[in-house]
Amino acid sequence: MSYILNRILSMLLTLFLISAITFAVTNILPGDVAMMIMGTQSNPEALAGLRETLGLNDPLLAQYGRWIGGMLTGDWGTSLVFKEPIAPLLIQKMTASGLIVLLSMTIALVCAVPLGVWAAVHPNRWQDTASSSAALLGVSLPDFFWGIMLILLFARALHWLPSSGFVDPREDLLLALRHALLPALALGLGLMAHLTRMTRATMTGILNQEFIRVARAKGLGEGTVVWRYGLANAVGPVMTVAGLQVGYLFGSIIVIESLFNYTGMGWLTYQGLLNRDIPLIQASVFVIAAVVMLANLLVDILYVLVDPRIRLS
């Protein structure tokens, strides 16, 4: 318990640091919000007036205090591009992204673990070569390239799935899944390749250990040895890597959602970045980093629950 409590305390400190870094990065800009609202050709006096109203003349620390206070109380500011309050906008988009992130993580794990085990069980045979080469190719192509290939194949050539757009699952679940499938696959392929490589490496290490030899010598079937004894020990490390990849996924959704016109958080962040919508950039960068950190915390806690060795030590 004290371990988990410790982790939560350190999480709060990290959240504070995340907010400070987000604020610092977005404040090294030459221009400012007032300039973005009124345009570069605007009247200097009106500009100065707006700066005063927005509090942009206050010391940075005071501005930071106001911003973080707003973030904590649910007032995330107003988007300059969408002219809407950011909090409801971002939360709505977050569910859209949650759908493809979960879907891609599921696809990746379901395919990668058996493939990796399969390769590890047949080291240096064709099964290993095939699975490892496919995985190597998978990690070597940018995910938006996979996205383009998927669009060409499943949307343009076969007409099986739509190539762009987002549908709310609460309105039409089937249609929503059809729209989410291609972006989720584009996200998941690279991840799958990475996890296959990881599973293979972890399993290879485990299958060479003494206790596996003992299990075989006891006359246990190969299936029991590999799945019950081997994989049980690989779950932790593979889960950790999968958890770390949540960060990678939340980076990739910016590219993939833009490519598929899937209006989730990545798409929203991209609109903010393109239009230098500072309040929107600050809020979404902060939220994404916080989500990634929470996901990693969750994995750490799960790891303790799954692996008794850590719980006891």
Partner 1 sequence: MKLPAAFRTSKGLIGTGLVIAILLVAVLAPMLIPADWATKMDMRARLSPPTLAHPLGTDQLGRDLLYRVLLGTQTSIFIAGAAVLMSIVIGLPLGLISGYAGGTTDNVLMRLVDTLLSFPALLLALTISAVLGPNLHNTVIAIGIAFTPFLARIIRGEALRVAQMPYVEAARTAGNSDSRLILRHILPNIMPAIIVQSTISLAFAILAEAGLSFLGLGTQPPDASWGLMIQASRDYLDRAPWTALVPGAAVALTVLGLNMFGDALRDALDPRSKGAS
| Interaction site with partner 1 (CB under 8 A) | 13-14, 17-18, 21, 25-26, 28-29, 123, 132, 136-137, 139-142, 144-145, 148, 151-152, 156, 197, 200-201, 204-205, 247-252, 254-255, 258-259, 269-270, 273-274, 276, 281, 285, 288-290, 292-293, 296
| Shortest Å distance, C-beta 133 to partner 1 | 9
Nearer to partner 1, 204 or 240 (CB): 204
| Shortest Å distance, C-beta 97 to partner 1 | 12
Q: What is the CA radius of gyration of the chain?
A: 24
Nearer to partner 1, 7 or 220 (CB): 7
* Structure-token pair, residue 127: 């099964």
DSSP annotation string for 27-92: TS-SS-HHHHHH-TTS-HHHHHHHHHHHTTTS-HHHHHHHHHHHHHHT---B-TTT-SBHHHHHHH
| Shortest Å distance, C-beta 58 to partner 1 | 20
Cβ(170)–Cβ(155) below 8 Å: no
Count of CB atoms within 10 A of residue 15's CB?
Answer: 18
Using alpha carbons, list the distances in angstroms from residue 232 to 108, 157, 193, 212, 299: 19, 42, 21, 12, 16
Nearer to partner 1, 52 or 212 (CB): 212
| Shortest Å distance, C-beta 175 to partner 1 | 24
| Shortest Å distance, C-beta 29 to partner 1 | 5
Nearer to partner 1, 127 or 169 (CB): 127
| Shortest Å distance, C-beta 1 to partner 1 | 23
Measured distance between the N- and C-terminal CA atoms of the chain, rounded to whole angstroms: 13
Nearer to partner 1, 8 or 21 (CB): 21
Nearer to partner 1, 31 or 49 (CB): 31
Instruction: Match 């929203």 to its residue by tokens.
Output: 268
